[in-house]
């Protein structure tokens, strides 16, 4: 039995030594052209702005399900409230090889909803190319890269969950629903990589905020970034910690970070269109997330005890979502 285990370990190590590196695979798998194509489709006028409680949210959800299926990831629908017009959260799983599987899981997330159309004007559609078709395109790109790495024997050693949240713009409705009724114990989540607005700003520069609870994830990202070489602006915006879907996780003690650019002149305007995005920046952020997800899945890990449910309280109006 011991000899068999040693043989399996030796074969796995030999296969990894002969395989392309995760960096090479991620760079090949994640291209600006494909990222731009995905952003253009999700941010098209036909998607109607993707307001979270509308037929356009459902249309966007169906597009994401189909697109992730083309990458070999089946997305399951998760209801987030009792309103029949509200689009679902979408959750997909990439399982590791059984012989290398470790405990815990990593989450790669982005919200797909945006804003309802304007009532007047020549251009009424809030396309939301940067906010947040870019993050969804990044999530899809990470799925493609991790599938390539897994096929080459250098993929993540724990499960990776891909989560497309709905209702972020309405106060993190989807992510709040997720942590309230999680498909996996929150204590088993190693890291959450949340991408929200990753395609505008200075070239090759991205803001990453996680605060004290996200420190372990940021350390992993710093190591992974040695191969990517982005300029990381770390923890410069503590006010962002509860402004996107990493917020509900951080409040539950789950290590999580936000990738974002600063607000720009087209933020929450109909002019947030695909013509203005930096697809190369979004692609490199996705490459970084892919490498960091593999590294996070390989790090020593002990499950945390899930926090006790908070007592009922009066909750103030949520801050302005990103």
Q: Which residue range(s) make up the domain with 189? A: 22-298
Instruction: Assess whether pLDDT exceeds 90 at residue 214.
Output: yes
**According to the 3-state scheme, what is the secondary structure of 261-295?**
CCCCCCCCCCCCCHHHCCHHHHHHHHHHHHHHHHH
Residue 159 C-alpha from the chain's centroid: 14
Band of residue 70 on the pLDDT scale cut at 50, 70, 90? very high
Q: Give the bridge partners for 106, in sequence order.
A: 160, 191
Residue 251 has which token pair? 């409040």
Residue 16 domain flag: no
Residue 181 domain flag: yes
Helix axes 134-151, 32-42, angle to 10 degrees: 130
Q: Within 10 A of 45 (CB to CB), how many other CB atoms are there? A: 12
What is the total count of domains within the chain? 1
Q: What is the pLDDT of residues 103-153, one digit of tens each?
A: 999 999 999 999 999 999 889 999 999 999 999 999 999 999 999 999 999
Band of residue 316 on the pLDDT scale cut at 50, 70, 90? very low
Residue 8 domain flag: no
Exposure of 262 in the CB half-sphere (CA atoms within 13 A):
12
Q: Which residues of 179-202 are buried (b: 16+ CB within 10 A; e: fewer)?
A: beebeeebbbbbbbbbbbbbbbbe
- What SS3 state is found at 144? helix
Residue 116 domain flag: yes
Residue 9 domain flag: no
| Mean pLDDT in residue range 53-70 | 98
Residue 58 contacts residue 87 (beta carbons within 8 Å): yes
Q: What is the CATH number of the domain that holds 70?
A: 3.40.630.10
Residue 278 domain flag: yes
Instruction: Assess whether pLDDT exceeds 80 at residue 313.
Output: no
Residue 141 domain flag: yes
- What SS3 state is found at 26? helix
Residue 306 domain flag: no
């Amino acid at each position: 039995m011991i000899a068999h285990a040693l043989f399996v370990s030796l074969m796995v190590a030999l296969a990894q030594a002969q395989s392309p590196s995760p960096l090479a695979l991620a760079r090949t798998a994640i291209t600006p052209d494909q990222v731009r194509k995905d952003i253009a489709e999700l941010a098209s006028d036909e998607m109607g702005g993707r307001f979270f409680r509308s037929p356009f949210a459902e249309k966007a959800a169906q597009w994401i399900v189909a697109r992730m299926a083309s990458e070999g990831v089946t997305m399951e629908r998760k209801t987030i409230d009792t309103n029949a017009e509200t689009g679902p959260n979408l959750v997909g799983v990439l399982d590791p090889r059984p012989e290398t599987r470790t405990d815990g899981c990593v989450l790669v997330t982005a919200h797909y909803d945006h804003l309802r159309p304007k009532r007047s004007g020549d251009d009424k559609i809030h396309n939301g190319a940067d906010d947040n078709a870019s993050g969804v395109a990044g999530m899809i790109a990470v799925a493609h890269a991790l599938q390539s790495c897994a096929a080459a024997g250098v993929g993540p050693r724990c499960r990776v969950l891909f989560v497309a949240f709905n209702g972020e713009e309405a106060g993190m409705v989807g992510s709040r629903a997720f942590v309230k009724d999680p498909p996996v114990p929150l204590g088993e989540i190693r890291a959450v990589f949340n991408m929200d607005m990753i395609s505008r700003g200075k070239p090759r520069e991205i803001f990453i905020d996680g605060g004290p609870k996200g420190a372990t994830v940021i350390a992993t990202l710093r190591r992974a970034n040695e191969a990517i070489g982005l300029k990381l602006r770390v923890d410069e915006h503590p006010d962002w910690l509860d402004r996107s879907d990493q917020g509900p996780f951080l409040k539950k003690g789950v290590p999580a970070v936000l990738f974002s650019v600063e607000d720009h002149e087209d933020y929450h305007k109909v002019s947030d269109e695909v013509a203005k995005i930096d697809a190369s920046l979004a692609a490199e952020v996705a490459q970084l997330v892919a490498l960091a997800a593999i590294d996070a899945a390989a790090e020593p890990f002990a499950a945390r005890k899930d926090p006790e449910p908070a007592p009922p309280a009066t909750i103030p109006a949520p801050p302005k979502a990103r």
